Amino acid sequence: MSFELINRARRTIGFRLALWYAGAFILSSLLLFGLAYFLLASSLERRDRESIEVRLRELEAQYRAEGRKGVQEGLAFQKRLGNKKPFFIRIASPRNATVLMAVPDEWAEFDLSVLEHPPVAEPGRLLRLPAKDDEAVLEIASTRLSGGTLLQVGKSTEERDSFLENFRSIVAGVMVPVILIGVTGGAFLAWRALRPIRQLIDTVRAIESGAMAARVPTRQTGDELDELGQLFNSMLDRIAALIQGMRGALDNVAHDLRTPMTRLRGIAEVALQSEHSLDTCREALADCVEEADQLLTMLNTLMDISEAETGALKLDLEAVNVAALMEDALDLYQDVAEEKGVTVSTMAPKELWLTADRNRLRQVVANLLDNAIKYTPSGGRIELGAHRQEHTVVLHVKDTGIGITPDELPRVWDRLYRGKPGLSQRGLGLGLSLVKAVVEAHRGHVEASSAPGVGSVFTVVLPIRPANLR
Ligand code: ADP
Answer yes or no: are the C-beta atoms of 375 and 402 closer than 8 Å.
yes
Q: Say which residue, 420 or 461, is predicted with more confidence.
A: 461
Ligand 1 site-directed mutation target among 305, 344, 407, 412, most atoms within 8 Å of CB: 412
Question: Does 413 sit in the ligand 1 pocket, CB within 6 Å?
Answer: no
Q: How far apart are CA 138 and CA 111, in angstroms?
A: 10
- When the pLDDT of each residue in the chain is averaged and rounded to a whole number, the result is 88
- pLDDT score at 402: 95
Q: Say which residue, 210 or 450, is predicted with more confidence.
A: 450
Nearest atom of ligand 1 to the alpha carbon of 372: 23
Question: Does 412 sit in the ligand 1 pocket, CB within 6 Å?
Answer: yes
Question: Does 371 sit in the ligand 1 pocket, CB within 6 Å?
Answer: yes
Nearest atom of ligand 1 to the alpha carbon of 401: 24
Q: 292-327 pLDDT, tens per residue?
A: 998 898 888 888 888 888 777 889 999 999 999 999
Distance 388 CA to ligand 1 centre (A): 26
Q: Say which residue, 100 or 463, is predicted with more confidence.
A: 463
Q: Whose CA is nearest to atom 20 of ligand 1?
A: 371
- pLDDT score at 393: 96
Question: Does 418 sit in the ligand 1 pocket, CB within 6 Å?
Answer: yes
Q: How far apart are CA 398 and CA 111, in angstroms?
A: 114
Closest among 102, 104, 107, 112 to 74, alpha carbons compared: 102
Nearest atom of ligand 1 to the alpha carbon of 419: 16
Question: Residue 156 carries which side chain, given as an amino acid letter?
Answer: S
Adjacent-strand bridge partners of 90: 101, 152
Ligand 1 site-directed mutation target among 305, 404, 449, most atoms within 8 Å of CB: 404
Question: Does 427 sit in the ligand 1 pocket, CB within 6 Å?
Answer: yes
Distance 306 CA to ligand 1 centre (A): 19
Element (H, E) at 388: strand 381-389
Nearest atom of ligand 1 to the alpha carbon of 413: 6
CA distances from 408 to 323, 366, 404, 411, 451 (A): 31, 22, 6, 5, 11
Instruction: Summarize the confidence of residues 281-288 as an average pLDDT.
Output: 89
- pLDDT score at 388: 96
- pLDDT score at 119: 66
Question: Does 305 sit in the ligand 1 pocket, CB within 6 Å?
Answer: no
Q: How far is CA 45 from the centre of its chain?
A: 52
Judged against a pLDDT cut of 60, whether residue 1 lies above it is answered with: no
Closest among 462, 455, 456, 294 to 364, alpha carbons compared: 462
Question: Does 402 sit in the ligand 1 pocket, CB within 6 Å?
Answer: yes
Distance 369 CA to ligand 1 centre (A): 11
DSSP state of 93: -
Q: What is the pTM of this model?
A: 0.56
Q: How far apart are CA 257 and CA 212, in angstroms?
A: 30
Q: 28-42 pLDDT, tens per residue?
A: 999 999 999 999 999
- pLDDT score at 248: 75
- pLDDT score at 369: 96
Question: Does 404 sit in the ligand 1 pocket, CB within 6 Å?
Answer: yes
Nearest atom of ligand 1 to the alpha carbon of 430: 6
- pLDDT score at 174: 93
Q: 116-161 pLDDT, tens per residue?
A: 876 656 666 788 888 888 888 999 998 888 888 889 999 999 989 9
Reduced to 3 states, what is the DSSP secondary structure of residue 380?
coil
pLDDT band for 455, please (50, 70, 90 cuts).
Answer: very high
Closest among 396, 401, 385, 435 to 415, alpha carbons compared: 435
Ligand 1 site-directed mutation target among 398, 418, 434, 438, most atoms within 8 Å of CB: 418
Contacts with 226 (C-beta within 8 Å, 6 or more apart), sequence order:
196, 218, 219, 220
Judged against a pLDDT cut of 60, whether residue 339 lies above it is answered with: yes
Distance 371 CA to ligand 1 centre (A): 6
